[in-house]
């Protein structure tokens, strides 16, 4: 059995993301797009003085709006994020099956390799935004985006995927969603989400309670036990609340595979000048180290930036260096290979961490690996640093990557079609490395199936 892992996936809709943070992304309305709009509005743009352009503000505005409407990727992104949230995973599966022939006989086929399962890890982002400065507007109370609501929606959406499916209706030539009686182990997707955590939004007691609720007992797992417990819990939750008072007997463990932190939203990895906050992150790292809970952190100079120190917090060689010195057993994935617009400093720092065999550091290529040129870069990194072959994880950054990519399918095809990586290297990126990061070791699925068959026959 082979499984393909997308370690970095976002299941968001417009009610979850903070729209002010979304509109402030550097990569949404870029300088180049503004220039394109101005050139379209003004034939002689390059020789018109700036002061003259102000006289044509209405025309500039209309040209920019036209550019946005013509940029199909933005419309594509908003179309997906505007759909019913509970349909997200069904839509991913549906278009993999109906377009590009990437799924045949319920197996994902990429190039010459067939995968029995597509494993995706949706990362919850804590958009609490309590640090947002909004003094310049009338309704200046920061937008409430309770992470609790996003968690409930995500878990219900996973449950919906395993209890429903698209079927073709010949009467009107349309696909419609119907109830499904298919066993979840026979579905294409396996879904293991990551809990979003911004320690500044919680008391230290609340952080301890959250980590105990979802991750108690993780320290005793073998890799196979971790995998099986996550698989058994997958899609189990269907409710309107996470409160123990309303679910007194529910076991919340293994609903999540790890923790997601997002420095540009205000998460300081090592706030040494704030004693209370430092104690919170120390508790987070202590428990994650002891229980072998993997952490994924945003690590690029882009993204949702809502604090002035977004770059300092994201920098893997800044506060993060102190984190790893104090917690050397921490399992961390520095996402996006530390991408920076005009520097390789963060990338080089991550490579230094990852190639230090005393550390459990990984990186993923989410959002970046959208074309063959990037895989040439990955190949060059591996050639120069052979140990990186075992430390790079495949990820898409879906749904955010629709700003640059047409579809989830397209991103998968880029890996499938590149000749810059060998089949063995691709297998490590999209399977073996992810299993070591998630479970602590490569999984022998055949051995698990044999054990299950023995148990079944005994019963």
pLDDT mean over 169-193 = 93
User: Quick one: tokens of 6?
Assistant: 């997308």
CB–CB of 412/102 below 8 Å?
Answer: yes
Residues 63 and 178 in one domain: no
Does some domain include residue 177? yes
User: Quick one: tokens of 108?
Assistant: 């994902």
Structure-model confidence comparison of residues 28 and 148, the more confident one: 148
pLDDT digit string, tens, across residues 130-147: 545 556 666 566 555 567
Does some domain include residue 17? no
Residues 165 and 303 in one domain: yes
Categorize the per-residue pLDDT at 72 as very low, low, confident or very high, splitting at 50, 70 and 90.
low
Residue 106: pLDDT above 80? yes
121: burial class by Cβ within 10 Å (0-12, 13-18, 19+)?
Answer: buried
What is the model's pLDDT at position 161? 96
| Percent above pLDDT 70 for the chain | 78
pTM for the model stands at 0.86
CB–CB of 377/371 below 8 Å?
Answer: no
Q: How far apart are CA 381 and CA 351, in angstroms?
A: 9
Residues 64 and 84 in one domain: no
Last residue of a domain, one of 30, 58, 75: 75
What is the model's pLDDT at position 86? 87
Categorize the per-residue pLDDT at 6 as very low, low, confident or very high, splitting at 50, 70 and 90.
very high
Does some domain include residue 396? yes
pLDDT mean over 341-352 = 96
Structure-model confidence comparison of residues 72 and 286, the more confident one: 286
User: Quick one: tokens of 353?
Assistant: 């961490």
Total structural domains in the chain?
2
Does some domain include residue 439? yes
pLDDT mean over 292-313 = 91
Q: What's the CATH code of the domain at 157?
A: 3.20.20.140
Residue 155: pLDDT above 90? yes
What is the model's pLDDT at position 29? 56
Residues 34 and 113 in one domain: no
Does some domain include residue 275? yes
Categorize the per-residue pLDDT at 84 as very low, low, confident or very high, splitting at 50, 70 and 90.
confident
Residues 314 and 434 in one domain: yes
What is the model's pLDDT at position 56? 52
Categorize the per-residue pLDDT at 359 as very low, low, confident or very high, splitting at 50, 70 and 90.
very high
HSE-CB of 300 using CA atoms within 13 angstroms: 19
Residue 20: pLDDT above 50? no
Length of the chain measured in residues: 459
Residues 345 and 417 in one domain: yes
Q: Please give the mean pLDDT across all residues of the chain.
A: 85
Residues 43 and 180 in one domain: no
Helices 372-384/408-417 angle, 10° precision: 50
Residue 246: pLDDT above 70? no
Phi, psi dihedrals of residue 307, rounded to the nearest 5°: -130, 150
pLDDT mean over 398-402 = 87
Let me know the angle formed at the C-alpha of 112 by 108 and 114, rounded to the nearest 5 degrees. Answer: 30
| Percent above pLDDT 90 for the chain | 62
Q: How far apart are CA 406 and CA 82, in angstroms?
A: 16
Structure-model confidence comparison of residues 242 and 246, the more confident one: 242
What is the model's pLDDT at position 218? 96
Categorize the per-residue pLDDT at 349 as very low, low, confident or very high, splitting at 50, 70 and 90.
very high
CB–CB of 442/435 below 8 Å?
Answer: yes
Residue 256: pLDDT above 90? yes
User: Quick one: tokens of 187?
Assistant: 């579905």
pLDDT mean over 67-79 = 65
Considering only 83-92, 181-190, 430-439, which range has the smallest mean pLDDT?
83-92
Domain hosting 32: range is 22-75
Considering only 41-55, 90-104, 211-225, 394-408, which range has the smallest mean pLDDT?
41-55
pLDDT mean over 359-363 = 97
Residues 100 and 201 in one domain: yes
pLDDT digit string, tens, across residues 379-388: 999 999 999 9
pLDDT digit string, tens, across residues 22-38: 555 555 555 565 566 66
Residues 167 and 301 in one domain: yes
What is the model's pLDDT at position 159? 95
Residues 329 and 184 in one domain: yes
Last residue of a domain, one of 48, 75, 102: 75
pLDDT mean over 167-175 = 87
Structure-model confidence comparison of residues 307 and 241, the more confident one: 307
Structure-model confidence comparison of residues 436 and 12, the more confident one: 436
Categorize the per-residue pLDDT at 181 as very low, low, confident or very high, splitting at 50, 70 and 90.
very high
Last residue of a domain, one of 30, 51, 75: 75
Among residues 364, 377, 369, 363, the alpha carbon closest in space to that of 412 is found at: 369
Residue 67: pLDDT above 70? no
What is the model's pLDDT at position 234? 96
Does some domain include residue 194? yes
Residues 194 and 285 in one domain: yes
Residue 300: pLDDT above 90? yes
Residue 303: CB atoms within 10 Å? 25
Residues 122 and 40 in one domain: no
pLDDT digit string, tens, across residues 257-275: 999 999 998 999 999 999 9
């Amino acid at each position: 059995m082979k499984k393909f892992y997308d370690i970095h996936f976002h299941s968001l809709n417009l009610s979850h993301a903070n729209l002010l943070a979304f509109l402030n992304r550097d990569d949404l309305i870029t300088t180049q797009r503004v220039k394109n709009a101005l050139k379209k509005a003004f034939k002689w743009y390059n020789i018109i003085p700036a002061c003259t352009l102000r006289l044509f503000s209405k025309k500039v505005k209309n040209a920019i709006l036209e550019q946005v409407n013509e940029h199909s990727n933005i419309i594509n992104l908003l179309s997906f994020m505007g759909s019913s949230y509970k349909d997200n995973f069904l839509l991913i599966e549906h278009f993999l099956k109906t377009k590009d022939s990437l799924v045949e006989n319920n197996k994902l086929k990429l190039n010459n390799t067939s995968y029995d399962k597509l494993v995706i890890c949706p990362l919850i982002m804590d958009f609490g935004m309590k640090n947002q400065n909004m003094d310049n507007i009338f309704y200046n109370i920061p937008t409430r985006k309770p992470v609790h609501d996003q968690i409930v929606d995500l878990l219900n959406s996973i449950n919906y995927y395993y209890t429903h499916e698209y079927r073709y209706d010949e009467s009107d030539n349309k696909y419609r969603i119907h109830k499904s009686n298919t066993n979840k182990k026979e579905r294409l997707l396996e879904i293991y989400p990551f809990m979003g955590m911004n320690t500044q939004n919680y008391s230290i007691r609340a952080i301890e309670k959250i980590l105990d609720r979802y991750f108690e007992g993780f320290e005793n797992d073998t890799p196979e036990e971790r995998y099986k417990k996550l698989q058994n819990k997958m899609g189990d939750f269907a409710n309107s609340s996470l409160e123990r008072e309303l679910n007194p007997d529910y076991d919340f463990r293994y609903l999540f595979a790890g923790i997601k932190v997002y420095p540009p939203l205000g998460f300081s990895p090592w706030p040494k000048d704030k004693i209370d906050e430092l104690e919170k992150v120390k508790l987070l790292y202590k428990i994650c180290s002891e229980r072998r809970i993997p952490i994924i952190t945003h690590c690029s100079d882009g993204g949702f930036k809502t604090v002035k120190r977004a770059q300092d917090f994201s920098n893997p060689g800044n506060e993060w260096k102190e984190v790893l010195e104090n917690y050397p057993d921490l399992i961390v994935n520095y996402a996006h290979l530390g991408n920076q617009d005009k520097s390789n400093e963060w990338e080089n720092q991550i490579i230094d961490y990852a190639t230090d065999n005393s550390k459990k550091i990984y990186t993923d290529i989410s959002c970046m690996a959208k074309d063959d040129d990037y895989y040439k870069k990955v190949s060059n990194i591996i050639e120069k640093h052979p140990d990186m072959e075992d430390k790079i994880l495949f990820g898409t950054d879906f749904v955010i990557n629709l700003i640059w990519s047409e579809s989830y399918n397209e991103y998968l095809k880029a890996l499938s079609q590149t000749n810059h990586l060998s089949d063995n290297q691709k297998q490590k990126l999209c399977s073996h490395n992810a299993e070591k990061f998630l479970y602590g070791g490569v999984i022998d699925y055949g051995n698990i199936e044999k054990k299950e068959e023995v148990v079944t026959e005994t019963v």
